[in-house]
Amino acid sequence: MATFPVINLEKLNGDKRSATLEKINDACQNWGFFQVLDHGIPHDFLDTVERLTKEHYKTCMEQRFKELVATSKADLTDVDWESTLFLRHLPQSNLSEIPDLTDEYRKVIKEFAVKLEKLAEELLDLFCENLGLEKGYLKNAFNGTNGPTFATKVSNYPPCPTPDKIKGLRAHTDAGGIILLFQDPVVGGLQILKAGEWIDVPPMRHSIVINLGDQLEVISNGKYKSVEHQVMAQTEGTRMSIASFYNPGSDAVIYPAPALVENEAEEYPKYVFEDYMKVYAGTKFQAKEPRFQAIKAISTATA
Ligand code: OGA
Ligand code: NI
């Protein structure tokens, strides 16, 4: 079986450029996921992000999670074994409104977001190159009136006594554009669905895992795919993951790039991104195809 794609972005700078672009294209077409090394984010900075995230969890989140578990009904089925913190960076940051963050952690999160935003935009341009779209096409497609939405979900998956009964995070595809995940270097659990089999995304220190959301599937008219993934709960260890979502602006109109449409009968829908998110909110843990059908039926974006 092919192993999970790992791509060294440094190689884009030399005579391996076209081979590296091809690897990225293959990962986008056949995996919907890959992890990148030499992405330009310094390793000691990533170590600081990890340390502060784990400290914040211990200080502010762990007890809350334990209390939640203690007061929950035993037979809940629509929940995940996950402690989360949501942060928004663009179009407007909400970092100053989040309680319990130390000044240092707030500053580091902000800096991390700037670095990840840059990486997301670089990757989008590499996708453009691979798809034969002009540079900037994907970034512009996400723009809407106020630019893209960029947000981070800081998760911790605590040890779970019954991992056969509950997932860390149930299977889903991501709704948005491009997702950059900084995951725990030791405790694993993330899996992706490939050809009907769940494949582990192996922890790798200092790498960033990249995956494509439903919007890139639509804009690429299915050339690229968003892929189902899940997090298995573990009996030992707390797994940290920091997922950053580079998504279209809420009023961006999303539709397949005309250059990628060969057969209009097979075309993906056209809609306003926030309408898609309303459909997604109620159907996140279901297959994406009915979602594409549903948005087609209610879309108010005119052709
Ligand atoms: C997500 C997600 C994976 C992880 O938040 O959408 O898939 O490893 N997270 O936390
Ligand atoms: Ni996800």
Residue 273's closest CA among 141, 180, 173? Answer: 141
Residue 97's closest CA among 87, 107, 109? Answer: 87
In a domain, 174, yes or no: yes
Closest residue by CA, ligand 1 atom 2? 243
- What are the φ/ψ torsions at residue 96 (nearest 5 degrees)? -70, -15
In a domain, 300, yes or no: no
Q: Which of 50, 179, 181, 215 to mutate to test the pocket of ligand 1 (most atoms within 8 A of CB)?
A: 181
pLDDT of residue 1: 64
Closest residue by CA, ligand 1 atom 9? 243
Does pLDDT of 204 surpass 80? yes
Tens of pLDDT, residue by residue over 133-152, are 999 999 999 999 999 999 99
Tell me how far the alpha carbon of residue 127 lies from the centroid of ligand 1, in angstroms. 22
Tell me how far the alpha carbon of residue 246 lies from the centroid of ligand 1, in angstroms. 14
Tens of pLDDT, residue by residue over 6-53, are 999 999 999 999 999 999 999 999 999 999 999 999 999 999 999 999
Using pLDDT thresholds of 50, 70 and 90, give the confidence band for residue 74: low
Tell me how far the alpha carbon of residue 15 lies from the centroid of ligand 2, in angstroms. 34
| E-state strands within 71-228 | 83-90, 149-157, 169-172, 178-183, 190-194, 197-200, 208-212
Using pLDDT thresholds of 50, 70 and 90, give the confidence band for residue 266: confident
Tell me how far the alpha carbon of residue 243 lies from the centroid of ligand 1, in angstroms. 6
pLDDT of residue 78: 84
| Cα Rg of the chain (Å, integer) | 19
Mean pLDDT of the region 104-123:
98
Element (H, E) at 121: helix 103-131
pLDDT of residue 140: 98
Q: In a 3-state reduction of DSSP, which class is residue 172?
A: strand
Q: Which of 57, 153, 173, 234 to mutate to test the pocket of ligand 1 (most atoms within 8 A of CB)?
A: 153
In a domain, 292, yes or no: no
The token pair that represents 227 in the structure block: 């892929």
pLDDT of residue 302: 58
Using pLDDT thresholds of 50, 70 and 90, give the confidence band for residue 264: confident
pLDDT of residue 135: 98
Give the number of C-alpha atoms closer than 13 A to the C-alpha of residue 182, restricted to the C-beta side: 25
Ligand with the closest atom to the CA of 155 = 1
Q: Please report the atom of ligand 1 found closest to the CA of residue 190.
A: 8
The residues that bridge with 296 in the sheet, in sequence order, are none
Using pLDDT thresholds of 50, 70 and 90, give the confidence band for residue 62: very high
Q: What is the CATH number of the domain that holds 241?
A: 2.60.120.330
* Rounded-to-integer distance, Cα 168 and Cα 165, Å: 10
Closest residue by CA, ligand 1 atom 1? 243
- CB atoms closer than 10 angstroms to residue 139: 17
Tell me how far the alpha carbon of residue 123 lies from the centroid of ligand 2, in angstroms. 18
pLDDT of residue 301: 66
**163, 2 in Cβ contact below 8 A?**
no
Asked whether the bond before 91 is cis by omega within 30 degrees of 0, the reply is yes
User: Among residues of the chain, what percentage have pLDDT more than 70?
Assistant: 97
The residues that bridge with 37 in the sheet, in sequence order, are 8
Ligand with the closest atom to the CA of 191 = 1
Mean pLDDT of the region 182-191:
98
Domain span including residue 193: 6-270
Higher-confidence position of 1 and 137:
137
- CB atoms closer than 10 angstroms to residue 154: 22
Mean pLDDT of the region 266-284:
94
In a domain, 191, yes or no: yes
Q: In a 3-state reduction of DSSP, which class is residue 204?
A: coil
Domain count of the fold of the chain: 1
Output the ligand 1 site: residues, CB below 6 A.
153, 155, 169, 174, 181, 183, 190, 229, 231, 241, 243
pLDDT of residue 153: 98
Mean pLDDT of the region 59-79:
86
Tell me how far the alpha carbon of residue 191 lies from the centroid of ligand 1, in angstroms. 10
